[in-house]
Amino acid sequence: CPVLRSTTTLTTAAQDSEDVTTTTTKLTTSTSTSTTLRSCWYTSEPATGTAFSLPIDDDTRPFVCGSHCEDCATRDAFALCTDEQRVDGTKLSVNYALPESSLAQYETQFADRGFQSCNTDDCNKANACTGSTDWGGAAGGGGGDNATAAQESE
């Protein structure tokens, strides 16, 4: 995934008579995605693998694509998993778009679940649990006939 944040150190020197003054400034930049990011992969029903490319039509704030992996065996109260998936220990890929302003919160909240983010169209179109990009056949999120049908119906 592309780097969303970077820190650059600039060093400037100014000579005043015999004294030399050096100033170091750290600039933190954030890539604005509102004009370039137009879609993110979105799992509308992770339990069935239904997924599609979600258009982003908001030019008022930048968005990024994100994904993380939910382990149904350890998340017994989690509404995305069916009872059978909880028993089997199925892992579900959850893929979405989020406002860039929420990125730090998601990084913290889903750090233990393999959270990833990126900022190009459909860059999160991979199973967050396996890394597979085969959305037509991967089990546990991003797989099955529903994902293929949803993708083709766009």
Residue 75 is assigned to a structural domain of this protein: yes
Residue 50 is assigned to a structural domain of this protein: yes
Q: What is d(CA 13, CA 70) in angstroms, rounded to the nearest whole number?
A: 51
Q: What is d(CA 57, CA 25) in angstroms, rounded to the nearest whole number?
A: 36
- CA-to-CA dists, residue 51 to 54, 70, 92, 124, angstroms: 9, 16, 12, 12
pLDDT of residue 49: 83
Residue 3 is assigned to a structural domain of this protein: no
Residue 48 is assigned to a structural domain of this protein: yes
Number of domains within the chain = 1
Higher-pLDDT residue of 29 and 78 is 78
Smallest Cα–Cα separation from 129: which of 64, 44, 70?
70
Helix (H) / strand (E) element for 147: namely helix 144-152
Q: Which residues pair with 30 in a beta bridge?
A: 5
Residue 116 is assigned to a structural domain of this protein: yes
Residue 20 is assigned to a structural domain of this protein: no
Q: Which residues pair with 45 in a beta bridge?
A: 50
**What's the chain's average pLDDT?**
71
- CA-to-CA dists, residue 61 to 66, 105, 133, 137, 153, angstroms: 16, 17, 28, 35, 28
Q: What angle do CA 84, 89, 90 make, to 5 degrees?
A: 80
Helix (H) / strand (E) element for 63: namely strand 63-71
Residues spanned by the domain of 48? 32-152
pLDDT of residue 27: 35
Share of the chain above pLDDT 90, in %: 40
pLDDT over threshold 90, residue 20 = no
Higher-pLDDT residue of 148 and 83 is 83
